[in-house]
Chains A and B, each alone.
Chain A
Amino acid sequence: MADVESVAVVWQLASRISDLTFEGALAGYVMALACHAVEFASRRATSTARATAAVPADGSAVALLTRDGDDPAETGGSGEGSASLTDRPGWGERFGRAAVLVAGVGFTMNVLSLITRGMAAHRAPWGNMYEIVSLICAVAAGAWLVAVNRTKVRRIGLFVMFPIAVLSFVGGTVLYTPAGSLVPALQSYWLVIHVLAVAISSGMLMLSGVASAMYIVRTRRDRRRDGHTDSRSVLDRLPSPDILDKVAYRTAIIAFPLFTFAVVAGALWAEAAWGRYWGWDPKETTALITWILYAGYLHARATSGWRGSRAAWISILGFASIMFNLFVVNMVVSGLHSYAGLN
C-alpha cells in the first residue's frame, strides 16, 4: 500500500510542478512581451545598415557575390547587434536581447510543464484544450526562437509574443483542467500522432501568420512613406518586407505538409473510431477550409498579381481559421470533437 501511496504522491507532485512551470512560462512570455515593447518603442533605431562583406573565411581564390538571403550578413546569430560589437548597444538592443532570453526561459518552462503534465496523467500531454493550447504556445515560442536565431526578425517580437502570451493566459485560466484520464474515445495512439501534428503545425503557422501581418503593415507603411521621405514612424523599424515574407513562407512550407499529415492522421483515426475517414464533422470541415486557405497561400505566392500583400492576407485568414477551429468549433459548434473538457 505504501508503494501505491508514494506513487500517488509523485503524480501529485508532477501535476503541481506542471502547473507551476506553466505559470513560469506565462510569466516568461509576458516579460518577453514587455521587453519587446520597450525595444520596439526605443528611439535608437536600427536603420544603420551594416555592410558585412562576404569574405570567404578560407581565403580561397573565389569571389562570390550573391543576392541571397542566406548569406552570412543576414544570418548573424544575435540579429541586429552582431556587427557592432565594439559599440555599447542601445536600450532597444539590450531589451531586445533580454526579450529573446526571457522567451527562451518561458519556452523551457513550457516544455517542462508539458513533460511533467504527461507524467502526472500517464499519457501524452495533449488530451484537452488546456494541454493543446500549452503545446501550441511551446511550439510557437520554439519556432520563434529558431527564426530569431536565423534571420533578422527580432523587431516583430512584440507581435509574436502577444498572441503567445494571450493564448497561454487563456489556457491557464479559462481552459485549465486538472490532470486526469481520457475518455475511451481518446485512448488511441492516433491521439498522440494526430493532435501532436495539429499542435506543431498550428504553432508554426501562428508565427507565419504574424510575419504575414507584419509584412502587410510594413509594405503599407513603405507605400505611405514614398514621397514623404522625412516622415518617421516606429513601423520603419520593422524588418524588411523581404525578410518578413521569407519567414512567413519558410515556416509555412514546413508547417503545411505537417498540417496535411495532421488532417490525414485525423482521417485515419476517424476511420478507426467512427467508421468513416471523412464525415463533414464541423471540425473536419473547418480543417479542410484551413487547408484550402494555405494551399491558396502557397499558390498565390507563385502567381503574378497575387504575390505580396494578397498572399499575406490569405496566410492571415488561414491562421484565423485555425484559431476558429480551435476555439469556436470546440466550444460553440457541437460536433464529434468534444474533448474541450469544459462541460
Chain B
Amino acid sequence: MPPRDSIAARNDEDLLQSHPARNGPRGALARGLAVLRNVWRRLTSMRTALILLFLLALASLPGALLPQWSTNRPKTAQYILDHPTIGPWLNRLGFFNVFSAPWFAAVYLLLFISLVGCLTPRSWELLRQIRTGPPASAPRNLSRLPHHATVTITGDATAAGRQVADRLRHAGVGGWRTATRTEPDGAVVVAAEKGYLRDVGNLVFHFSLVGLLLSVAVGGMFGYEGTVLVTEGDGFCASSPIAYDDFRPGPLVNPTTMTPFCVDVDAFHAAYTPQGQATTFRADIRFQTGGDLGTDTWRRRALEVNDPLRFSGDRLYLLGHGYTPTFRITYPDGQVRSYQQPFAPEDSMFTSQGAIKVTDPPGYSAADLRKNQLAIVGIFAPTAVVRGGIMSSGFPSLLSPGVAVDVYRGDLGMASGIPQSVFAIDTAQVANGLLVKKAHANLSPGQSVTLDDGTKITFTGAKQFVSLQTSYDPAQDWALVSVIALIAGLMASLLIKRRRVWFRIRPDAAPFGTAAPARHGLCIEIGGLARTDQAGYGREFASLVALAPGTESTAAGTVPAETVER
C-alpha cells in the first residue's frame, strides 16, 4: 500500500489554494468537499490503517485481562464486587463486554472502511497492470540497478530480443510478462515483470478479512446457542427456545424457524484414571430429526467430547456431565412418589450441590399446599467421604454414593414470579420463617429420614446427567471459506516475490561506457530490480542472465563480457 501513502501525504491545502478567493455557499461547499476528501485520504492511508490496527489490539486487551460477562459471568460479578470504586465504572464503559462495546466496534469498523478504501483502487490498478503487462520503457542506465550484468554476443538485435522475450515467458513457474520496444538509437529493450500473484494474494488476504468480519457479524445476528441438562433415560425436543435451560439467541433469530429435533439420552459412560482424571466421556443417545419426526424413527449414536452431532445446520454437543440423585418420598397419606434433579458439580471429584423442590405434595387442599411444599437441599457425592462432619467426594465415579441433605417444609416462594435457581432454594423464604428446616441427614442409598408429620424421604441412588448444547451459526461455512482464502492470500503475498528485469540489446555499442566497442556484435545489458523483497534475487538474477542468447554455451564469436565495478 505504499503508493497510497504519497497520495495521502500530499496535503489538500494546495488543492484549495489553486482555487483561491472563492466565497459564498459554493466556496463553502468546495471547502467542505475538500475537507471530506482529505479525511478520506487520511483514513485510507497505510499509516492510519496501521494505527487502527494497533488500536484494535489495544482495545482487545481488556477482553483478555478482565473477566467478561459473555465468557465468565460469576467471575465478572465477583470482580465488580471486589473493586467497588473502579468496577462499576469499568462496567459502564463496557470493559466487561469489550467485544460488543461501541468503542470496539468503532475501531474495527473504521479499520475495515480504511481497508476497503485502500484496497479498491489498488485492485483496479492491479487489474490494469495484469492486463497490460509491464511498461516497455527501461531505465536509461541499467548499470545503476541493484543487479546488473553485461553479455556480448553476435547476431541480430531484433531476433535476440524476440529470443529473450520468448525464453523469459517460458522460464520457471509463474512466468514473466514481457514487453519489447525499439529505442530511437536502435537498441531493443525487453522489459519483463513477474510476481503479480503476490499482489493478487495481498488483495485476496485483505478482502477475505472483510469477508471473515461479515461472516462473524452474520453468525452473531442469526445464530443461537441453547444448553440443557438431560438425565439418563430422559430426553428433550427442541423446536423452540422453551426446550432449553439457557437459550442465547442472536438479535435477529426467529424462534419459529428453528430446526425441530428430539434427543433421548440412554446412558452416559465416563472412565477415570486411579487418580480421578477422566479419560473418556461418551453419551449414548437416540435422536430424530426431519422426516424421522413424523415416522417415529430413532437413530442411535454415541456423542463424545470433540465429536458433535451435525444435522441440517444445527450441531449438538456433549459439553459436560454430572449426577442426578434420586429420592422416593412416602407421604403421610401413604402416597409414594419419585423425584430426581441434576446437582451442579462443584469440584473435579464431582462433589455436587443442588435442591429437589416438591411444589405439589399430595394430600393437601389447595389452601394448605403452599404451606407444605418440600425441599431437599444439600450435597451429593458419588464416592462419599465424610470428614469433620462435612461430606465431599473422593472419586468422580459412582462407587459409594451419599447425600448430606437438609429437608425444608413450607412455602418455597415459587409463586412470586421471581425466577429461582434450580440448584438452590430461596434463602429469603427461610429467613422469613416461611420455609422451615425439619431435618438433616447423611444418607446412603436405601436409607431414609422421617419428618415430624410422618413424611418419609428415602435416598434411592443416582443417575448421571449430561449437559448438551445446540449451536446454530448460518455463516460459519463462509467464515471457513474466508480464512482459507485468507491463508492462501497471505502465503502468496509473503512468499511470492515481485521482480523486474530489463534486457537492452544494443548493436555495436560499448557496454556500460567501456572504451572498446564490441565490433560486429551485440551488447546485452541486463538490469534487475526487486520490487518488494530483495532477498534471494541475487541467485535468481544469475539464472536470468543465463537466458540471454549465447550464454548457454561459449560459442565461437561470443566476446567475453567485461567485469563492471560500481
A-side interface residues toward B, CB under 8 Å? Answer: 56, 60-71, 180-181, 183-185, 187-188, 190, 246, 249-250, 253, 256-257, 260-261, 264, 267-269, 271-282, 285-286, 288-289, 292-293, 295-296, 298-300, 302-306, 329, 333-335
3 nearest CB pairs, A to B: A68-B538, A275-B471, A285-B64
CA distance A66 to B57 in the complex (A): 40
Contact status A275-B315, CB under 8 Å: yes
Q: Quick one: CB contact mask for B52-73 with A, threshold 8 Å, 1 for yes? A: 0110110011011100101110
Given contacts A187-B305, A274-B317, 9 further A-B pairs with CB under 8 A are A68-B538, A257-B491, A268-B480, A269-B306, A275-B308, A275-B315, A285-B60, A289-B64, A292-B60
CA distance A60 to B305 in the complex (A): 65
Contact status A66-B305, CB under 8 Å: no
* B residues near A63, Cβ cutoff 8 Å: 149-150, 561-564
**Given A275-B471, A280-B70, CB of A67 within 8 Å of CB of B563:** no
Contact status A260-B487, CB under 8 Å: yes
Q: B478-533: which residues lie under 8 A (CB-CB) from chain A? A: 479-480, 483, 486-487, 490-491, 494-495, 532-533
Q: Chain A: which residue is nearest B277 at the CB level?
A: A183
Instruction: For B536, give its contact among A65, A67, A68, A269 (CB under 8 Å).
Output: A68
Instruction: For A60, give its contact among B56, B538, B541, B554 (CB under 8 Å).
Output: B554
Of B54, B64, B151, B304, the most chain A CB neighbours within 10 A belong to B64
Does chain A have a CB within 8 A of B50? yes
Contact status B2-A302, CB under 8 Å: yes
Contact status B490-A296, CB under 8 Å: no
* A residues near B315, Cβ cutoff 8 Å: 275
B-side interface residues toward A, CB under 8 Å? Answer: 1-2, 5, 46-47, 49-50, 53-54, 56-57, 60-61, 63-65, 68, 70-72, 75, 98-99, 146-152, 216, 225, 273, 277-281, 304-308, 315, 317, 319, 469, 471, 473, 476, 479-480, 483, 486-487, 490-491, 494-495, 532-539, 541-542, 545-546, 551, 554, 558-566
* A residues near B273, Cβ cutoff 8 Å: 180-181
A-B contact pairs, 30 of them (CB 8 A): A56-B542, A61-B559, A62-B546, A62-B561, A63-B150, A64-B149, A65-B148, A65-B564, A66-B147, A66-B541, A68-B146, A68-B539, A70-B539, A184-B278, A187-B280, A187-B306, A250-B535, A257-B491, A257-B494, A272-B306, A272-B307, A275-B308, A278-B216, A279-B70, A292-B53, A298-B494, A304-B2, A333-B64, A334-B72, A334-B75
* B residues near A333, Cβ cutoff 8 Å: 64-65
Cβ distance A239 to chain B, nearest Cβ, rounded Å: 15
**Given A61-B551, A260-B490, A335-B71, CB of A273 within 8 Å of CB of B305:** yes
Contact status A61-B535, CB under 8 Å: no
Cβ distance A15 to chain B, nearest Cβ, rounded Å: 16
Contact status A277-B47, CB under 8 Å: no
Q: Chain B: which residue is nearest A181 at the CB level?
A: B279
CA distance A279 to B71 in the complex (A): 8
* A residues near B225, Cβ cutoff 8 Å: 275-276
Q: Chain A: which residue is nearest B225 at the CB level?
A: A275
Contact status B146-A288, CB under 8 Å: no
* B residues near A257, Cβ cutoff 8 Å: 487, 490-491, 494
* A residues near B304, Cβ cutoff 8 Å: 184
**Given A64-B542, A67-B147, A275-B317, CB of A264 within 8 Å of CB of B551:** no
**Given A273-B306, A303-B46, CB of A264 within 8 Å of CB of B487:** yes
Instruction: For B305, give its contact among A184, A249, A304 (CB under 8 Å).
Output: A184
Contact status A62-B545, CB under 8 Å: yes
Contact status A188-B306, CB under 8 Å: yes
* A residues near B561, Cβ cutoff 8 Å: 61-63
Of A282, A286, A305, A335, the most chain B CB neighbours within 10 A belong to A282
**Given A61-B554, A70-B535, CB of A185 within 8 Å of CB of B64:** no
